[in-house]
């Protein structure tokens, strides 16, 4: 059973292995920069491309970081997200997601939320681990299709936030994780808005929340 991995403290329970950015690498420096600017509390500023940096690299570093954050957030509520509690992958009554990755599963299949999220996170991890897509070595160029891959990853990661907010927010509150979830999601939304990475239609399930987060920050 994948979900009983971290039997230590609840907060360290990750649902999938964390993706590490190699220390000493330029991407690691960028990640440190991102963490430092986040500390300033101004998220709109924190997501902007640092001067002189490569856009692909900035998007790559942040995508890995969001994967790790969502991984951890979902990891705290896996026990509440079960075949029984969530027989379909949904974000409220109006939005239901069916899984397809275009290679192993070509025709979208209807599956439970934990199964869907497992497929999704495994798929994202495979993309992040693919050196031809996410090169970790200095000077190795990003592929031509990098942007479209990154957009697909972020679009799918959004669905995990949407599911957590719609179906498990009460558990998040009980665990006192809501500040953590809100900050992570706000950072994610400001980032995808800054670089126009997710289609508005895709964001519809959390539109009200997105507007609320944005208006507090103007």
In the annotated binding site for Zn(2+), the residues are 81, 86, 163, 168
User: By the 8 A CB rule, do 61 and 27 touch?
Assistant: yes
Rounded CA separation 158/140 (Å): 28
Angle at 154 between CA 148 and CA 160, to 5 degrees: 145
Which two three-digit tokens encode residue 154?
Answer: 């972020």
Residue that has been written with the tokens 């990154």 in this structure:
150
Residue 201: alpha-carbon gap to chain centroid: 18
Residue that has been written with the tokens 């292995």 in this structure:
17
Half-sphere exposure of 18 (CA within 13 A, CB side): 14
- Cross-strand pairs, 89: 97
Residue 99: alpha-carbon gap to chain centroid: 17
The string of DSSP codes covering 5-52 is ---S-GGG--SSPPPPPPTTSHHHHHHHHHHHHHHTS-HHHHTSPPTT
In the annotated binding site, the residues are 81, 86, 163, 168
User: By the 8 A CB rule, do 184 and 34 touch?
Assistant: no
């Amino acid at each position: 059973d994948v979900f009983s991995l971290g039997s230590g403290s609840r907060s360290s329970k990750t649902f999938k292995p964390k993706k590490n950015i190699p220390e000493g690498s330029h991407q690691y420096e960028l990640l440190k920069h991102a963490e430092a600017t986040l500390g300033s509390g101004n998220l709109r500023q924190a997501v902007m491309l640092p001067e002189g940096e490569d856009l692909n690299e900035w998007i790559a570093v942040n995508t890995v970081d969001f994967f790790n954050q969502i991984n951890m957030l979902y990891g705290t509520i896996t026990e509440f997200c079960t075949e029984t509690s969530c027989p379909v992958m949904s974000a409220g009554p109006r939005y239901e997601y069916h899984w397809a990755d275009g290679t192993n599963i070509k025709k979208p299949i209807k599956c439970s939320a934990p199964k869907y999220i497992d497929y999704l996170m495994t798929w994202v991890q495979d993309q992040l681990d693919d050196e031809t897509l996410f090169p970790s070595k200095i000077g190795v160029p990003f592929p031509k299709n990098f942007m479209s891959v990154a957009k697909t990853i972020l679009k799918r990661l959004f669905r995990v936030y949407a599911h957590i907010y719609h179906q498990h927010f009460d558990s998040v509150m009980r665990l006192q994780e809501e500040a953590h979830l809100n900050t992570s999601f706000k950072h994610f939304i400001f980032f995808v808005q800054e670089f126009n990475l997710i289609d508005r239609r895709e964001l519809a399930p959390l539109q009200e929340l997105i507007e609320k987060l944005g208006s507090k920050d103007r």
